[in-house]
Structure 1
Amino acid sequence: MANIRNLDPSASPLDYYGSELRRLREEAKLNQDQLGAILFCTGSLVGQIETARKVPTREFSERVDAALLTGGLFSRLVGLVLKSQLPTWFQPYAEMEARATYISAYQAQLVYGLLQTEGYARAVLSIDHSDTLDEQVAARMERQRILDRDQPPVLCVVLDEAVLHRQIGSPEIMRNQLAHLLTFRDHQWIQVQVLPFAAGQHAGLLGSFNLLRFDDDPDILYSESYESGHMTANSQAIRQRAVGYARLQAAALSREDSAALITRVMEERYGHQSGPAVA
C-alpha cells in the first residue's frame, strides 16, 4: 500500500524533498512501486522518503533526477537534507567550514572529520547516534565534498600520535583509515602531520581546535565539548591559537616522516594485508 502522509514543505529540508518527490512522481503518472522499479529500489523506500521517514542518499537523488528529468533538482536538495541531519549545535560550524579558504585543525583524539573513511566515521558515530547512524554517517560523508570542489580549501591537519594507536572499530577499519590518510601524502591542498609522543609537552594540551580563514570574513576559532561547539572571532583568542598551531606544526613530524610513522603503525599494529593499496 502506498505511503500517504501530508507534509509541510516548509517544515524542514527533508519534508520539502519528500513533497517535491511526490509532486513530480505524480506529475509523471507513476505510483511508488513503478518509480521504485525504475530506480532499482522498492516502492516502500520511495514512500518512506516521500513521507520524510527516511533520509535519501546522494545516489538515490541522482537516479531520481535521471528518471524524472528534473535538471538536477534532487542532487542539489540532498546536500541541504544531509546537512540538516548533523547535530543542531554542529550545523553552524559545518556551514562555516564549507565556506573556509584555509582550515587548520589539531586533533588529539580522532581523525578530523573531513579525512575520515566511512567505516571509521560509522564506528565513531555509533557510540552516540545508533538510532540515526545511517543519516549521521551520510551527513559526515557529505561534508567531505568540499575537498572535491574545483577550488577546495587548503587543509592542514596535525594529529596527535595517539589518534593512530587508538583503535576505532575493527583492525580492518583502522588499516583502511590509516591507508586513507596516506593517500594525502602528496596532495596539493591537504597536509597531514603527526605530533609524536616524543614531542612531550606541547601547545595542544588543552584539547583539539580548528582555525578557519576566509577570503572576506574574519577568522574563526572553533572548539567543542560534549554535545556543544563554540565558535569565536575574538582576535586575541585567534592570535593565541594561531601561534599555538604554528608551534604544533613545528613540533610535528614532516609530511614524509608522518607518512612513515602512519605506515609503521598501520603495519605493526593493524597489519596491512587487506588494506587498500597506497600510492
Structure 2
Amino acid sequence: MAVVRDIDPSASPLDYYSYELRRLREEAGLKQAELGAIIFCTGSLIGMIENGRRVPTRDFSERVDAALGTGGVFSRLVGLVLRSVLPTWFQPYAEMEARATFISTYQCQLVHGLLQTEPYGRALLSVDRPDQVDELLAARMDRQRILDGENQPALWVVLAEAVLHQEVGGADVMRRQLDHLVSFLDHPWVQIQVLPFSAGQHTGMLGSFTLLRFGDDPDIHYEEGYAQGYMTANPPVIRERSVGYARLQAAALSPEHSAVLIARVMEERYGERPGTGERAVA
C-alpha cells in the first residue's frame, strides 16, 4: 500500500491540486482504484497524483471533473499546475506568451515549442531532463492550447532551413514533425516561412529570438541563453529586433514556397511526402 503523503495545499499549485483531488474523491466515497476504474486509469496513478508525485494532464483533469461532478475545478487548476512545472526562469515568459496578441519568432535550431509534435518535444526534453520528461512535455503541449482558443494570437514563425535537416528523435519523428508544419499552410492565424541556406549572412545569425505584442501593453523581446532566458521591453531593443525580424521575413521564402521546401526535405531526407489528404504543395 502506498504511503499517504501529508500535503500542504498552500505549498504549490500541484500540492493544492493533490489535496483537492484526495478530499473530493473521499467526499464522493470512492477509493483510488474505484475512481481509476471510472476514468480509465490505475488506482496507483490516482495515488501518485494525490501524493504530488505525478503531474496531472489536462485530459486526466477533465475526466476527474466529469467523474466527481466538480464543475470544472480540476480543468481550471491544471493550467496553473502545468505552468508551475516549467523552469522558474521560463514561467514569466509563458505567462506573457499566453496573453500576447501577436507572436513573431525566429528559430535557428529547433521547431518552436508552439508547433512541436509530442514525439519531437519528448526527444528534445529527454536529452537533459530524462527524469521530468512526462511533466515537462505535458506543460509544453498545454502551451499550444493558445492556438485553439477564441482569442488565439497571430503566430508568425521564421525557421532557418537547418531546422528541417537537424534530425530530432529519428526519421519517423522528423517526418511527423515536418508533416505537422505543412499542415499549417491554410491556417488563418499561423504563418511559417523558411529562411533558406541561400540567404547567406543575415540578422538572425546571433541566435533565436521572439517578439510578443499585446493590445495595450509594451512589446516584449525574449531570447534564451544556455542557462536561462532574457526578457525585456526596452524600446531600443524592441526597435532593433523588430527591424531585424522584418529583414528575416523579407529574406525568407513565402509561406507557400516554404511549404514546398518542407515537403521536399521531408521526401528526400526522411522518405515521405506530406500525409494523404493533405493539401498538395508541389
TM-score by length of 1: 0.98
Residue identity in the other structure for 1:150: E
Alpha carbons 2:122, 2:133 under 8 Å: kept: yes
Structure-2 separation of matches of 1:193 and 1:3: 52
Aligned-partner SS, 1:159 = strand
Residue identity in the other structure for 1:236: P
1:67-146 to 2 correspondences below 5 Å: 67-146=67-146
Structure-1 separation of matches of 2:76 and 2:42: 23
Q: Which residue of 2 is the match for residue 254 of structure 1?
A: 254
Aligned-partner SS, 2:132 = helix
Alpha carbons 1:101, 1:153 under 8 Å: kept: yes
Alpha carbons 1:204, 1:244 under 8 Å: kept: yes
Q: Which residue of 1 is the match for residue 39 of structure 2?
A: 39
Q: Deviations over 1:45-96 (max 9, x none)?
A: 1111011011111111111101100001111111111111111111110000
Alpha carbons 2:223, 2:230 under 8 Å: kept: yes
Residue identity in the other structure for 2:126: S
Residue identity in the other structure for 2:151: Q
Structure-2 separation of matches of 1:229 and 1:90: 7
Alpha carbons 2:263, 2:274 under 8 Å: kept: no
1:132-171 to 2 correspondences below 5 Å: 132-171=132-171
Between 38-47 and 263-272, the greater mean CA deviation after superposition: 38-47
Alpha carbons 1:179, 1:275 under 8 Å: kept: yes
Residue identity in the other structure for 2:67: A
Alpha carbons 1:172, 1:274 under 8 Å: kept: no
Residue identity in the other structure for 1:32: Q
Percentage of identical aligned residues: 70
Structure-2 separation of matches of 1:249 and 1:152: 22
User: 1:4, CA displacement in angstroms?
Assistant: 1.4
Q: Size of the alignment, in residue pairs? A: 279
Alpha carbons 1:218, 1:233 under 8 Å: kept: yes
1:214-229 to 2 correspondences below 5 Å: 214-229=214-229
Alpha carbons 2:184, 2:191 under 8 Å: kept: yes
Alpha carbons 2:101, 2:154 under 8 Å: kept: yes
Q: Which residue of 1 is the match for residue 265 of structure 2?
A: 265
User: 1:201, CA displacement in angstroms?
Assistant: 0.7
Structure-1 separation of matches of 2:257 and 2:48: 49
Structure-1 separation of matches of 2:218 and 2:196: 32
Structure 1 residue runs without a partner (length 5+):
none
Q: Which residue of 2 is the match for residue 212 of structure 1?
A: 212
Alpha carbons 1:179, 1:277 under 8 Å: kept: no
Alpha carbons 2:194, 2:258 under 8 Å: kept: yes
User: 1:213, CA displacement in angstroms?
Assistant: 0.3
Residue identity in the other structure for 2:223: S
Residue identity in the other structure for 2:124: V
User: 1:166, CA displacement in angstroms?
Assistant: 0.5
Question: 1:51 and 1:277, CA in 2 relative to 1: closer, same or farther beyond 3 A?
Answer: farther
Q: Which residue of 2 is the match for residue 198 of structure 1?
A: 198
Structure 2 residue runs without a partner (length 5+):
none
Structure-2 separation of matches of 1:95 and 1:178: 27
Residue identity in the other structure for 1:255: P
User: 1:36, CA displacement in angstroms?
Assistant: 1.3
User: 1:273, CA displacement in angstroms?
Assistant: 6.6
Alpha carbons 1:105, 1:156 under 8 Å: kept: yes
Question: 1:261 and 1:136, CA in 2 relative to 1: closer, same or farther beyond 3 A?
Answer: same
Q: What RMSD, in angstroms, separates the aligned Cα atoms of the two structures?
A: 1.2
User: 1:264, CA displacement in angstroms?
Assistant: 0.2
Q: Which residue of 2 is the match for residue 8 of structure 1?
A: 8
Residue identity in the other structure for 1:126: S
Structure-2 separation of matches of 1:278 and 1:215: 34
Q: Which runs of 4+ in 1 moved over 6 A?
A: none
